[in-house]
Amino acid sequence: MKAVTLNAENAIKKTKKRSAWKGIRNQKYLYYMSLPFVLWVFVFQYLPLWGWTMAFQKYKPGVNFFEQKWVGLEHFRTLFRDDHFYLVLRNTLAMSLMGLIAGFIVPVVFALLLNEVRLQAMKRFVQTVSYLPHFVSWVVAAGIVSKMLSTDGGVVNDILLGLHLIDKPIQFMAQGHWFWGIVTGADIWKETGWNAIIYLAAIAGIGPELYEAARVDGASRFRQMWHITLPGIRSTIIVLLIMSIGHLLGTGFEKQFLLGNHLVIDYSEVLDLYALNYGLGMGRYSFGTAINIFNSVISLILLFAANGIFKRFTNESIM
């Protein structure tokens, strides 16, 4: 009896293998087409990981790899003993969390409201205007934001003065406690329209018969949004949220570098700027690499943690 069972299991395994190879042969051209992209990812994403070895060396440019001095975890110990590192980490986490919350909620709400616009010409116009700032360089965007917040003819101060909400212009760009909010607001203005495109595409995939049935039952437009639209894009929202949490420390440095100044340095410096200024800027290549490794490791931990939590409680995940 056991022999018969084993033979049956082996036959099933062989059948599955043949089916798998047959599927690969039938789709071989798709694999050929994907090969350049796989090579691109390997060359530009995985091959540079060899450079992480610099974090464990006292790296000197122009010296043979085998002649570099290995120092183990010395640069990581230096990093964690630096008080300035924790200040920079605070700024990074604060701006990332604010950007995550606002940059996640605002595009969803915007997509829901834009989907309710019945006049197609107006809908296309609003969508086009909203995502145009995404294509504007941060150099230009930072200049626009700085001008709008300026004390000399800045539109924000002019409006506040005109409404008698303030007695004199506020120097927004010279006060550190305003900086996190300014960066978050600038990022929302620049990226909301572009981020909403994904949600609008997901909404377009919801069957119109669901809305028709809801209207027959007397559901208002708000009820349709709450009970049909939001559940219909739930998977998209969760996947994008998980990916955003994975990039929590990867806030970049362009916004902070261009909008910041020496008056708000204690609030504007983030991990990437810290690595640039105290690593590459001072010729400490190994120290800069150690900072980037810390950033990558924490991002991986956050990604897997967020994925596991959502998979357990919502049955939605990215892997």
Instruction: Give the tens place of pLDDT for each residue, 258-312.
Output: 998 889 999 999 999 999 888 888 888 899 999 999 998 998 899 899 888 888 8
pLDDT score recorded for residue 4: 47
Tokens describing residue 71: 């120092």
Q: Does the structure show a pLDDT above 70 at 250? A: yes
Q: Of 72, 92, 118, which residue sits at a domain end? A: 72
Tally of domains within the chain: 2
Q: Does the structure show a pLDDT above 70 at 14? A: no
The answer to whether the predicted template modeling score (pTM) of the entire model surpasses 0.85 is no
212 and 124 share one domain: yes
* DSSP per position, 23-39: HHHHTHHHHHHHHHHHH
Question: Which phi-psi region, left, alpha or beta, contains residue 243 (left: φ > 0; alpha: ψ -120 to 50)?
Answer: alpha
Residue percentage of the chain with pLDDT more than 90 = 29
Is 60 a domain residue? yes
- Residues 256, 248: contact at Cβ < 8 Å? no
Full domain range(s) for residue 239: 75-314
Is 11 a domain residue? yes
The DSSP code for 280 is G
Is 319 a domain residue? no
67 and 79 share one domain: no
Of 80-84, 136-140, 150-154, least confident by mean pLDDT is 150-154
Instruction: Compute the mean pLDDT over every residue in the chain, rounded to the nearest whole number.
Output: 86
Mean pLDDT value of segment 218-244: 88
C-alpha distances (whole Å) from 188 to each of 89, 107, 299 are 22, 8, 22
Nearest to 316 by CA among 240, 202, 229, 206: 240
pLDDT score recorded for residue 17: 66
168 and 33 share one domain: no
pLDDT score recorded for residue 148: 92
C-alpha distances (whole Å) from 169 to each of 29, 142, 149, 164, 182 are 64, 20, 9, 11, 16
